[in-house]
């Protein structure tokens, strides 16, 4: 145990920097995924055929192994950072899109028609009524996506991507060697701790961005 703490202390600057990179790539991908998912959900939720197609796509996308996707993308995207953002954005979009469609569908059509009858145009109705009412469901998808991306982000090290995955795979590739186990454990614990933080913070953000009248 003391050897592990000494390992972490000796490499704290590198661990903290790669932890920052890990969080940064997850947040960037999460932001892009949220924007993409919202646009697709807005365009498809009112059409049964389009929404079913979108939901089926999310289900199929989640079955695609992340190792396989990273391996395929390496052939087309040489930059490890760009490849990582593309892959994480893809996976991050899936749960958010599914929840966004469910959220928009759950808004009472009577409220929408009343808003339109009061003179609100489609954009105003969307921004001031539908999006706030659907937001709790959408935000749940964002939280799920954030946790999922923290884990998938560790695999980015296989494609020369940033983050704590380099400690994990460096240790696994040298099992039996000096500090191999410490390296892998440090990487795994770093990802777990960051995932916990990234779960607590959205709870606060979710409450602050949800209208008081619809908070549970």
Q: Could you tell me the domains of the chain?
A: 15-214 (1.10.3720.10)
Burial class (CB in 10 A: 0-12, 13-18, 19+), 36: middle
- CA-wise closest residue to 69 among 94, 56, 88: 88
49-53, 117-121, 153-157, 199-203: least confident range = 199-203
For residue 30, what pLDDT band results from cuts at 50, 70 and 90? very high
- CA-wise closest residue to 61 among 96, 17, 91: 91
Summarised one tens digit per residue, pLDDT across range 9-23 is: 888 898 999 999 999
pLDDT in the model for residue 73: 86
Summarised one tens digit per residue, pLDDT across range 107-129 is: 888 888 888 778 788 888 888 88
Summarised one tens digit per residue, pLDDT across range 60-87 is: 988 888 888 888 888 888 778 889 999 9
Summarised one tens digit per residue, pLDDT across range 131-185 is: 989 999 999 999 999 999 999 998 888 877 888 888 888 888 777 777 788 888 8
Answer yes or no: are the C-beta atoms of 196 and 18 closer than 8 Å.
Answer: no
C-alpha to C-alpha distance for 153 and 83, rounded to whole angstroms: 11
C-alpha to C-alpha distance for 69 and 152, rounded to whole angstroms: 11
Which tokens is 63 given?
A: 């079955």
Can you give the pTM of this predicted structure?
A: 0.87
| Cβ neighbours, 10 Å, residue 65 | 9
């Amino acid at each position: 145990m003391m050897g592990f703490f000494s390992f972490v202390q000796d490499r704290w600057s590198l661990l903290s920097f790669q932890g920052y990179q890990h969080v940064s790539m997850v947040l960037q991908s999460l932001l892009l995924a949220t924007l993409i998912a919202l646009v697709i959900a807005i365009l498809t939720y009112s059409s049964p055929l389009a929404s079913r197609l979108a939901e089926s796509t999310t289900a199929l996308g989640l079955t695609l192994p992340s190792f396989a996707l990273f391996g395929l993308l390496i052939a087309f995207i040489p930059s490890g950072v760009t490849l990582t953002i593309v892959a994480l954005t893809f996976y991050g979009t899936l749960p958010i899109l599914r929840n966004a469609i469910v959220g928009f569908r759950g808004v009472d059509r009577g409220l929408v028609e009343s808003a339109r009858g009061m003179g609100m145009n489609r954009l105003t109705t969307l921004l001031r009524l539908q999006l706030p009412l659907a937001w709790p469901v959408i935000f749940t998808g964002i939280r799920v996506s954030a946790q999922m991306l923290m884990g998938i982000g560790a695999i980015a090290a296989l494609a020369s991507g940033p983050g704590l995955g380099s400690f994990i795979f460096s240790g696994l590739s040298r099992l039996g060697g000096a500090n191999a186990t410490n390296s892998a454990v440090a990487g795994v614990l770093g990802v777990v701790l960051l995932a916990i933080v990234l779960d607590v913070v959205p709870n606060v953000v979710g409450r602050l961005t949800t209208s008081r009248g619809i908070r549970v």
